[in-house]
Chain A
Amino acid sequence: EPEVTQTPSHQVTQMGQEVILRCVPISNHLYFYWYRQILGQKVEFLVSFYNNEISEKSEIFDDQFSVERPDGSNFTLKIRSTKLEDSAMYFCASRVEFMNTEAFFGQGTRLTVV
């Protein structure tokens, strides 16, 4: 069964460093998302991406964050200068189309900023 794949599963980084979280969405999907879940809190929407551009972003998704689909298969989330409060589980998700479809989530990348 097709699945969304995220790498790495766990990343530890020092505060102020740049990190790139990688995702391979399901191959025929057109809509891509990043969500995050701070430990003990709810899953929060960060950004959606369609047709090679951001379609919507949350207040969390500030200038420190960026997304890219560099090669037609990968979908990346970059955090330019990590802060302690960026520590969270980051989930990538994809949908085949917009109407009447569900999002499929990856296993997540646990980011720890020290």
Chain B
Amino acid sequence: AQSVTQPDIHITVSEGASLELRCNYSYGATPYLFWYVQSPGQGLQLLLKYFSGDTLVQGIKGFEAEFKRSQSSFNLRKPSVHWSDAAEYFCAVGSSNDYKLSFGAGTTVTVRA
């Protein structure tokens, strides 16, 4: 069965500092990987996705993520965070032969001035 681990429950970062959120997955086949963001009271917005090809993917709002098959990881990064990046971030895994997505528990990001 597929699963996703987000080791960090909560991260606090200063505005303008860099951010990295960790995601590790467990899946037998080639995974589809996603990062979603959820602002308070809002739905899930897709930040970026990986299906195949270039392992460094660019997303919206200045985010990027790198797929590392050898480490079963898909970490999310942003060079300089803005106060509006405060939210909960979810990593999710799917595949070409599985309809559903499996989500990690999420990482809450707090941005301090």
Q: Which residues of B contact A107 (CB under 8 A)?
A: 42-43
**B99–A31 touching, CB < 8 Å:** yes
DSSP majority for the B interface? strand
In this complex, how many residues of chain B approach chain A with their Cβ under 8 Å: the count is 22
Digit string of A91-114 for contact with B (CB within 8 Å is 1, else 0)?
A: 101000011101111111000000
Interface string of B5-20 (1 = CB under 8 A from A): 0000000000000000
Chain A: interface secondary structure? strand
- A45 in contact with B34 (CB, 8 Å): no
Whether A43 sits at the interface, judged by CB under 8 Å, is yes
Q: Is A18 an interface residue (CB 8 A)?
A: no
A93 to B36, CA, bound (A): 13
Instruction: Judge whether A48 is part of the interface by a CB distance below 8 angstroms.
Output: yes
A residues near B92, Cβ cutoff 8 Å: 43
How many angstroms from the CA of A102 to the CA of B49 in the assembled complex? 7
User: Which residues in chain A, 30-87, are within 8 Å of chain B measured between CB atoms?
Assistant: 31, 33, 35, 41-45, 48, 50, 55-56, 58
Q: Please give, as numbers and ranges, the residues of chain A lying within 8 Å of B101 by CB-CB distance.
A: 35, 45, 103
Which of the segments B21-29, B63-71, B102-110 contacts the partner chain?
B102-110
* Separation of A107 and B42 alpha carbons in the complex (Å): 6
What are 10 A-B pairs at a CB distance below 8 A? A43-B44, A45-B100, A45-B101, A55-B99, A56-B100, A58-B100, A100-B51, A105-B36, A107-B42, A108-B43
